Amino acid sequence: MKTDLPQSFRRLEYRPPVYTFDQVELDIALDPARTIIKSRIEVLPGKSFEAGAPLVLVGHELEFVSLRINGEAHRHFELTPDFLTIHSLPKEGKEKFIVEIICVCVPEKNTSLMGLYVSNGNFFTQCESEGFRKITYFLDRPDVMARYRVTLRAREAEYPVLLSNGNLLKTEKLPNGWHSAIWEDPFPKPSYLFTLVAGKLECIEETITTSSGAKKLLQIWVEPHDLQKTRHAMDSLIASIHWDEKRFGLELDLERFMIVAVGDFNMGAMENKGLNIFNTKFVLAQPETATDADFANIESVVAHEYFHNWTGNRVTCQDWFQLSLKEGLTVFRDQEFSADQMGSESGRAVKRIEDVRLLRQLQFPEDAGPMAHPIRPDEYQEISNFYTVTVYEKGSEVVRMYQTLLGIEGFRKGMDLYFKRHDGQAVTCDDFLMAMADANGKDLTQFRNWYSQAGTPRVKLEEHYDATKKQYQITLTQSCAPSPGQPDKKLFHIPLKMRLITNSDDQVEQLLELTQASQTWTFDNIDERPVLSINRNFSAPIHLDFEQSEADLLTLFSSDDDPFNRWEAGQKLAMQMILNHRLPDKQLIDAYRNLLMDPKLDPAFKDLALTLPAESYLYEQCTSVDPQKIFTARRAFRREIAKQLQLEWAALYQQMQTPGPFKSDAVDAGKRALKNLALSMLLEANTAVWAPMAVNQYRIADNMTDRYAALAGLVIHGAREATDCLSDFYERFTNDALVIDKWFGLQSSRPPVDGLEPTLGNVKKLREHPAFKMNNPNRVRSVIHTFCSNNPASFHQTDGSGYEFWADSVLALDPINPQVAARLARALDRWRLFAAPYQDRMKSALERVAAYQTLSPDTREVISKALS
């Protein structure tokens, strides 16, 4: 019977597979209109096997052609849109048997970009999480790990390059202009790590020697015209390989490792074994076309995918509820790598601040909204909706807390034990926790609650100083608000790094472990009232409720030796004032000035210290958000800093110039960041006066960071010169899709400017622009997602026009690409947090989308959870 109720999958319903696969042979004849897939699978009884059990394979949007078992045509099967159920197996399935299936798929019609698809005339696949079922009927689940041998066939003139996982065994010319390549992957893998690529591509390559003395071939494959933009990705790959050997003793296990770039991709990149597929955005860069942020992102995504080779591929997930096992751990590893690449302690701190900013801007709202879920979710309807900032970024924070609790060496011991126990297996988050606990003899029972509970814990802090006893006390009380399906929360194990700042400088950093509802710590022999620096380096991902005086915050902001907390104190001061509609007072302006002019401080740190908290983070501090009021208060606060420090900004703009040839290192990138903040502040202070300087920077820039920053400053501040520069930018870079994405994105992100047409009108025009393509995720994200998720003051209008645009866009995108649509659908998640006029209109827009009968399961889950 067909039911319209969405199907839910539950973690506790996990059963090991009934059958499992040993060797898998695929023979794929590639044709955009009709690709023929022949599979030959060795099937064995699995852990849940019972004699006579049918073999149930999943398949989606496939044309079934034939089935053979042990070489004979087999008729005992049922075929439904999603399953091929095979009955009457030889010897009741008790012994190994061979299944051979032929089926067909249509890559050129595949706009979902899951399974096998065509992008700019070339073939690519995306199988995580459940894309392999769109290529052939299979046990498409991560705990079925098989060895693959793959034969690819295609017309040679159109598809000269044929790639798949592992090692190339053989290539051959075939009749009628076809050719073939046979690839074999020596490592057993789940189907989500399978991939193939075919087309007109070229590569740069390098040979390196790894720690054991083995030679490895590294290749980066791109469309021929992009070849000169691959150097940075290659350097990042080599650095990642060496870093993983040094930090974790993990060596590349394949003879060759390839990266391929594709312009149509739903996510950032994918860690397929030995053949990573990347969104072009995270591969292609040269100074003229990519910003410093792009360079840094490429370095971290290349590292992330490479690190998955061990954390994800060698040891994979038992089921998709365990996604954070590989993702949280791998994000932690890439964050640590990028921090080390900064080349200094202050650089490490800058990276940490950037990561925490992102967490608070994106993950804290998620954790407080209708899609809140533990890093190891208990239930999902569509797993692709759970590639979230919670699973990734909060997951990484949880891994970081092990390191905080166990120390760097203890953490390494835990990692070593994890690989010793589980190499080649599909395991759970619990297995990881047990490896950490056993390797260190530490009881981590209560730490488990970080995996099972959603929501950001709150820690309330009360301090007391007794001058006569020379005693200082702090009391910490933890709580966590209810989240969907979790009304009551258990206590968390929260590691808090702290230090008492005193004039005598005699206190050292300590680690407090908050495990009870409320705990008090007493510090003796404290001669004068100290200033508390707590949750240093953001040791726990919590909300801290601590009414620290402005005087203490100013002390921390000017002298805390923990750079994270120094930054944090400044953020807190600014946040409190903005939310109270206050402008920065003289003391704060003086503190900003001293910080900006301190020659010992890293320019990148200064840039972050003077960057105000994001609007989305400010929303989370309120009970009834008026986005226009918050925008106005934040902007007024910023303008005041800009005006009061205009001389300093002008001086910094000069001091931070980086003469000589362009260098993309962290030092010069930090200088550019601060210089461009100075430019933006000058434009904020007086647009008309400073616009010519911005135009000049735009014109003479030899790199995209400076050119884009100048253009952005002009656009965002509504300078009259912006129009000409925007046209010039489009013409200069017409043929570079990633730069044109920036052109679209910048216009969509323009906040309201007095006297200018609201941004929505322009966004609608951009959607009609000949270069706008609804089936290219990068383009869609740069126009639509940017407007709906990254331009709050333009999006949230009392007339609801932004929400209507959102609803129209979700409905238009959903039939083309459900994953990209479902992500856009999340833009209204926090609707209940807003003041009445906004909230009512958001609800109507959500209901309009919900009323659509034919929504994809992806979008349906997001919308129905938002409304529930």
User: Minimum CB separation from ligand 0A1 for residue 665, in Å?
Assistant: 26
User: Which of 101, 269, 317, 540 forms a contact with ligand 0A1 (CB under 6 A)?
Assistant: 269
From CA 630, how far away is CA 783, in angstroms rounded?
A: 24
DSSP-derived 3-state class of residue 260: strand
* Least separation in angstroms between CB 131 and ligand 0A1: 7
Closer Cβ to ligand 0A1, 334 or 668, answer by number:
334
Question: 248, 387, 546, 653: which one contacts ligand 0A1 (CB under 6 A)?
Answer: 387
CB of 312 to ligand 0A1, least distance (A): 7
The tokens for 42 are 């060795």
Binding region for ligand 0A1 (CB under 6 A) out of 214-222, 260-268, 366-374, 711-719:
260-268
Longest dimension (CA), the chain: 95
262 binds ligand 0A1 (CB under 6 A): no
Which of ligand 0A1, Zn ion, none does residue 269 bind to, with CB < 5 to 8 Å depending on kind?
ligand 0A1
**DSSP characters for 78-107?**
EE-SSEEEE-S-GGGG-S-EEEEEEEEE-G
Residue 267 as a binder of ligand 0A1 (CB under 6 A): the answer is yes
Q: Kindly determine how many residues on this chain lie close enough to bind Zn ion according to the rule CB under 5 A.
A: 2
CA–chain centroid gap for 528, Å, is 45
**Which of ligand 0A1, Zn ion, none does residue 824 bind to, with CB < 5 to 8 Å depending on kind?**
none
**Angle between the N-to-C axes of helices 704-716 and 666-685, in degrees from 0 to 180, rounded to the nearest 10:** 20
Q: Indicate whether 128 belongs to the interface with ligand 0A1 (CB under 6 A).
A: yes
Cβ atoms within 10 Å of 467's Cβ, excluding its own: 11
Burial string for 53-85 (b: 16+ CB within 10 Å, else e) reads bbbebbbbebeeeebebeeeebeebeeeeebbe
393 contacts ligand 0A1 (rule: CB under 6 A): no
- Three-state DSSP at 330 gives helix
Helix (H) or strand (E) holding 320: none
Q: Residue 231, by phi and psi: left (phi above 0), alpha (psi -120 to 50) or beta?
A: alpha
Q: What's the rounded Cα separation, in Å, for the pair 281 and 263?
A: 8
Q: Whose Cβ is closer to ligand 0A1: residue 185's or residue 305's?
A: 305
Stretch 303-322: interaction string toward ligand 0A1, x if CB under 6 A: -xx-----------------
Of the ranges 197-205, 319-327, 338-346, 629-637, which one interacts with Zn ion (CB under 5 A)? 319-327
Interacting residue with ligand 0A1 among 136, 151, 240, 266 (CB under 6 A): 266
* Rounded Cα gap, residues 499 and 530, in angstroms: 9
**Residue 839 is which amino acid?**
Q
We find the least distance from the C-beta atom of residue 96 to ligand 0A1, in angstroms, to be 31
Catalytic residue among 130, 305, 568, 861: 305
The interface partner of residue 814, options being Zn ion, ligand 0A1, none and the CB cut-off 5 to 8 Å by kind, is none
126 binds ligand 0A1 (CB under 6 A): yes
To Zn ion, the closest distance from the beta carbon of 187 in angstroms equals 18
Closest CA to 642 of 610, 674, 606, 607: 610
Q: Which does 128 bind (CB under 5 to 8 A by kind): ligand 0A1, Zn ion, none?
A: ligand 0A1
Structure tokens at 768: 């009609």
Task: Using the minimum distance from each CB to ligand 0A1, give the nearer residue, 271 or 741.
Answer: 271
Instruction: Compare residues 128 and 226 and give the one whose CB is closer to Zn ion.
Output: 128
110 lies in the binding site for ligand 0A1 (CB under 6 A): no
Tell me which stretch binds Zn ion (CB under 5 A): 328-336, 368-376, 510-518, 798-806: 328-336
Task: Report if residue 327 touches ligand 0A1, rule: CB under 6 A.
Answer: yes
529-558 residues in contact with ligand 0A1 (CB under 6 A) are none
Residue 297 CB, shortest distance to ligand 0A1, in Å, is: 12
Q: What DSSP assignment string belongs to 785-851?
A: IHHHHH-HHHH--TT-HHHHHHHHHHHHHTTT-HHHHHHHHGGGTTGGGB-HHHHHHHHHHHHHHHT
43 binding ligand 0A1? (CB under 6 A): no
Q: Which of residues 270-299 bind ligand 0A1 (CB under 6 A)?
A: 270-271
Instruction: Based on the shown chain and the rule CB under 6 A, indicate whether residue 858 belongs to the binding site for ligand 0A1.
Output: no
Question: Binding of ligand 0A1 at residue 820 (CB under 6 A)?
Answer: no
Size of the site for ligand 0A1 (CB under 6 A): 12
Radius of gyration of the CA atoms of the chain, in A? 28
| 383 versus 774: smaller Cβ distance to ligand 0A1 | 383
For residues 614 and 361, is the Cβ–Cβ distance under 8 A?
Answer: yes
Q: Among this protein's residues, is 305 annotated catalytic? A: yes
Contact window for ligand 0A1 (CB under 6 A) among 263-271, 460-468, 634-642, 836-844: 263-271
Output the DSSP codes for 503-524: TT-----EEEEE-SSEEEEEE-
Q: Which residues, other chains included, contact 610 with Cβ-Cβ below 8 Å and sequence gap of 6+?
A: 592, 595, 596, 641, 677, 681
Return the ∠ at Cα 234 (arms to 233 and 237), rounded to 5°.
85
- The residues binding ligand 0A1 (CB under 6 A) are 126, 128, 266-271, 304-305, 327, 387
Active-site positions read 305
- The residues binding Zn ion (CB under 5 A) are 327, 330
